[in-house]
């Protein structure tokens, strides 16, 4: 190959490399700093295609999304001098990439520094509150107070803490047994008191129910006797009226009723004289006079 062609091919490859290194892409979740000899030239926080001077300028990318840092679990003394194990985390974002780069360089250093600051703020704030505050609706106010205190310490680091939360709070192992024993004793006393109150109320309810049942039963029996008397009186009145209209038919009807009740199909045998009063209607039909 001609040496001239080799030189031209090398120059072409060099130009292609320079062109490729003169542009870069910033995505929506990132922000960039352009350096020239490690001096900040510009900050880019808008996504898209951007250009830089090859071999002279460098680019560093930083996250625009919210980042997370977990603080190691710490045993913290509360205001009432009770120890409590607290496991917390924070969410933060890089709001000043230049300051972030100058003070922290990368996310690992930022997480380590922020974790230490978060633990210090937890100790400071939790030392002024009680355990009841942590377990009540005041917990959100406590978290806001911790977040504000952490932000006051990291404002010169180029980051902003957007949220602080507690993942877990627990009593240390050495105090759990004593606390659980005391809680068990208190619950046993409360249970005994509740049982005694329940038994007293049950006796009262049963007594009231028995009294009401007696009153209701007495009233029902009175009403039943009254209705029965009125019914018997009405039946006698109807029967007297019916008898007075046709005494002979009434006597015949009573005999038929007696036959139906006495002569049932159960193989009952009667030994009676045919001329008896019971068989009065079994003979010849009476002739009318």
- What does the pLDDT look like over 164-200, one tens digit per residue? 998 887 777 666 566 667 778 888 888 989 999 999 9
Residue 156 is part of a domain; what is its CATH number?
A: 3.30.479.30
Q: 58 and 139 in one domain?
A: no
Q: 164 and 104 in one domain?
A: yes
Does residue 115 carry a pLDDT above 60? yes
* CA atoms of 170 and 73, how far apart (whole Å): 10
Which of 102, 135, 170 is a domain's end point? 170
Which of 144, 170, 196 is a domain's end point? 170
Residue 240: predicted pLDDT? 79
Residue 1: predicted pLDDT? 58
* CA atoms of 218 and 19, how far apart (whole Å): 110
Residue 41 inside a domain? The answer is yes
Q: 104 and 47 in one domain?
A: no
- What does the pLDDT look like over 51-79, one tens digit per residue? 888 888 889 999 999 999 988 888 888 88
pTM reported for the whole predicted model: 0.55
Tell me which of 89 and 253 has the higher pLDDT: 89
- What does the pLDDT look like over 204-247, one tens digit per residue? 999 999 999 999 999 999 999 899 888 888 888 887 777 777 77
pLDDT band at 130 (very low <50, low <70, confident <90, very high): confident
Q: 79 and 61 in one domain?
A: no
Residue 13 inside a domain? The answer is no
* CA atoms of 24 and 20, how far apart (whole Å): 8
CA distances from 111 to 16, 70, 93, 257, 280 (A): 39, 8, 11, 107, 121
Does residue 288 carry a pLDDT above 60? no
Tell me which DSSP letter residue 14 carries: H
Which of 170, 199, 219 is a domain's end point? 170
The DSSP bridge partners found for residue 35 are: 40, 58
* CA atoms of 174 and 179, how far apart (whole Å): 10
The total domain count for the chain is 2
Q: 123 and 37 in one domain?
A: no
Q: 106 and 25 in one domain?
A: no
Q: Where in the sequence is the domain holding 122, given as residue range(s)? A: 67-170
Q: 73 and 57 in one domain?
A: no
């Amino acid at each position: 190959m001609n040496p001239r062609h080799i030189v031209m091919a090398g120059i072409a490859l060099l130009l292609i490399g320079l062109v490729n290194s003169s542009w870069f892409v910033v995505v929506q979740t990132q922000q960039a700093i352009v350096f020239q000899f490690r001096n900040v030239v510009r900050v880019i926080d808008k996504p898209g295609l951007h250009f830089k001077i090859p071999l002279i300028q460098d680019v560093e990318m930083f996250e625009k999304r919210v980042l997370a840092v977990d603080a190691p679990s710490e045993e913290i003394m509360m205001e009432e001098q009770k120890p409590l194990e607290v496991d917390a985390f924070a969410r933060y974002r890089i709001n000043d990439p230049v300051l972030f780069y100058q003070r922290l360089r990368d996310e690992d250093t930022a997480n380590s520094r922020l974790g230490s600051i978060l633990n210090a703020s937890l100790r400071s704030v939790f030392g002024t509150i009680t355990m009841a505050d942590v377990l009540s609706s005041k917990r959100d106010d406590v978290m806001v107070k911790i977040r504000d205190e952490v932000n006051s310490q990291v404002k010169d680091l180029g980051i902003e803490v957007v949220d602080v939360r507690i993942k877990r709070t627990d009593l240390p192992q050495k105090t759990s047994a004593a606390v659980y024993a005391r809680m068990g004793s208190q619950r046993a006393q409360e249970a005994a008191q509740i049982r005694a109150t329940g038994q007293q109320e049950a006796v009262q309810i049963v007594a009231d129910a028995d009294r009401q049942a007696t009153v209701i039963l007495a009233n029902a029996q009175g009403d039943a006797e009254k209705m029965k008397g009125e019914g018997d009186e009405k039946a006698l009145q109807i029967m007297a009226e019916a008898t007075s209209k046709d005494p002979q038919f009434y006597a015949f009807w009573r005999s038929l009723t007696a036959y139906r009740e006495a002569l049932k199909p159960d193989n009952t045998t009667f030994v009676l004289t045919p001329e008896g009063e019971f068989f009065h209607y079994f003979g010849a039909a009476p002739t009318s006079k």
